[in-house]
């Protein structure tokens, strides 16, 4: 191997070309990939005459109506392509803090179902309710839910630990509520 000796003060480094052209105009043109469409309403009526292909997606952006933020996919249904609801991007959720009066360990909170969801048919199984109670000492509680006069009724039974023993809650407590509306399909929630 030869030794190279540089005896100059300046060293010039030359790079590659300023641009490179790549030609990709050979071979067959394939099918386009999935396209995501968006519009206010039903994809079956909004996309008539459009270049819709299998596995395309559609998001309903209509702020009113029960299908708001539903995402559809164009797939084969019994041999025919159709738009099928896949998921809801913004599920019906409701949250609040309710100052509730407990008497002998019991309190009841009633929330209009229209505040939770726009769904027109529902049962108590469609509501997932989570509660947390603010207190200065430990509390334990359970809830039961029911529907009365288009309201979701949450009945709470609670006890509070104080001075070494548990006793029924009495007085006003802040109850944090988180409620999700879900669909029930054969015993599975979605």
Residue 142's pLDDT is: 97
Which band of pLDDT confidence, cut at 50, 70 and 90, is reported for residue 107? very high
Average pLDDT over residues 163-169: 95
Higher pLDDT, 127 or 63: 127
Look over the chain and give the mean of its residue pLDDT values, rounded to a whole number: 86
HSE-CB for 180 with a 13 A CA cutoff: 10
pTM equals 0.57
Measured between alpha carbons, how far is residue 74 from residues 56, 61, 78, 162 in Å?
5, 17, 13, 59
pLDDT digits (tens, 9 = 90+) for 34-48: 999 999 988 988 998
Give helix then strand counts, H and E, for the chain: 1, 13
Per the listing, tokens 């609040």 go with 96
């Amino acid at each position: 191997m030869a030794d190279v000796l540089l005896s100059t003060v300046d060293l010039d480094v030359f790079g590659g070309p300023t641009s490179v052209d790549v030609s990709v105009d050979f071979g067959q043109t394939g099918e386009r990939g999935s396209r995501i469409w968006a519009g206010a309403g039903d994809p079956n009526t909004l996309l008539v005459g459009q270049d819709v292909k299998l596995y395309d997606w559609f998001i309903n952006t209509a702020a009113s109506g029960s299908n708001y933020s539903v995402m559809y996919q164009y797939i084969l249904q019994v041999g025919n392509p159709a738009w099928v609801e896949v998921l809801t991007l913004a599920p019906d959720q409701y949250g609040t803090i309710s100052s509730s009066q407990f008497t002998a360990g019991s309190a009841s909170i009633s929330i209009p179902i229209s505040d939770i969801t726009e769904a027109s048919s529902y049962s108590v199984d469609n509501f997932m309710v989570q509660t947390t109670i603010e207190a200065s000492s430990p509390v334990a509680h359970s809830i039961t839910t029911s529907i009365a006069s288009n309201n979701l009724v949450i009945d709470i039974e609670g006890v509070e630990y104080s001075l070494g023993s548990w006793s029924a809650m009495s007085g006003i407590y802040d109850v944090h509520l988180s409620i999700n509306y879900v669909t029930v399909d054969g015993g599975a929630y979605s």
